[in-house]
Amino acid sequence: MSGQITVVGSSNVDFIMRVERLPKPGETVTNGKFAQVYGGKGANQATAAARAGGEVVFIASVGEDTYGKAMKKNLRGDGIETRTMQFQSGTSTGSALILIDGKGENSIAVAPGANDLLTLEHLEACSGVLRGSALIVLQREIPEPIIAFTLALAEESKVPTLLNYAPIKATETELCDKISILVVNEIEAAALSHLPVGNESEAKAAAIALRKFGIKTVIITLGASGSWVCAEDFEALIPAFPVKPLDTTAAGDTYCGAFAAAFVEGKSLPESVRFASAAAAISVTRLGAQPSIPTRAEIDAFLTKAQAE
C-alpha cells in the first residue's frame, strides 16, 4: 500500500517565547528568548508526513500576506503540494503565541485568521484530490463544516481518515462513525469519552468506549507512558521512547504526520505507532514547531539505535 496523504488543516505563524516558567495571570516574566517559526496543526502534520517520506498534498487557507506567501514557499521546500492552498485577501494568516517553560511544557493562544475562512466551495474544488488519497488527515483548527464535509466525502469514496481531535472545542460524537483512526491525548480522550484518562487501565476503558461510537481505531497518547492502541484485532500499550524534553509544542503533530506516512507505506498498526513515537521523541528534544520535525533518515537512525540498546 502506498499513495497520497492529503492533509486538510490549519497553517499558522508561531511567535515563540521561551521562559524559565509560565507567568501567572497579571504577572510579567522577563529574560525570555524569542523565535518566529511556521506552525499550525495542519501544516505541522503535513510537514511531518512529508519529512517521514510521504507524498503530501495540503489543503488550507492563509492570508494573502507576507506570512502566507512565505509559508507556502516553506511547505514546498519539504516537497508538499501547495496548489490546493486557498489565499484570502483582507485577513491575516493564522498566528499563535506560544510560551514554553524550562521543562518544555507550553501554553498556546491562537488567532485563527484565514484558517476560519476555509470554504466548502474550495473543498468541493479539491474533491478529486481528496477522492484520490490513500489517507486524509484532519485536525480541529478549521471550521467544523469543513471537517464534516471531508469525513462524509471520504466515507463515500472509501478513503480512510485520521482525525486528530485537537484542539478540544465541542465534544460531539455524531461524526465518529466516519473516522477510521482517531488520535487523542489524555485530555481529549477524557472529554470525548466522558471517562477519566490518567493511566493505562483508564485509557483502555476510554478507547473501548470511543470505539463503540463507530471509530475503527483509537490511539490515545499518554506522554512518556506511551500510546494505548485499540482496534478490532489489536489492543496494547506501545511504550514511548525516554528522552529529555525541551519543547513539546509539535509532539502531537509530528506523531500524527509520521504515523500517516508509515500507515500509507503499509506498516502494521503497532509498527506505525512505534514509528510515530520515535518521530515525536526526536521532536521534543528541539525548539519550535516545524523546525523540530525530524526527517525519515533521522527517524530510521533513532529506531535502529533504540533497537540496539
What positions carry a catalytic annotation? 253
3-state helix, strand, coil in the chain (%, to 5): 40, 25, 35
Q: What is the 3-state secondary structure (H, E, C) of 55-82?
A: EEEEECEEECCHHHHHHHHHHHHCCCEC
- For β-strands 94-100 and 86-88, DSSP reports them as unpaired
What is the distance between the terminal CA atoms of the chain, rounded to a whole angstrom? 31
Q: Would you say the C-alpha torsion 282, 72, 55, 180 has a positive or negative sign? A: positive
Q: Give dist(CA 70, CA 191) in Å, integer.
A: 36
Return phi, psi of residue 225, to 5°: -80, -15
Of the candidates 82, 64, 63, 10, which has an alpha carbon nearest to the alpha carbon of residue 39?
10
Cβ 72 vs Cβ 43: under 8 Å: no
Residue for cell digits 483502555? 204
Q: Give dist(CA 141, CA 24) in Å, integer.
A: 26
Phi-psi region of 32 (alpha: psi -120 to 50; beta: other; left: phi over 0): beta
Cβ 135 vs Cβ 8: under 8 Å: no
Of the candidates 221, 169, 217, which has an alpha carbon nearest to the alpha carbon of residue 10?
169
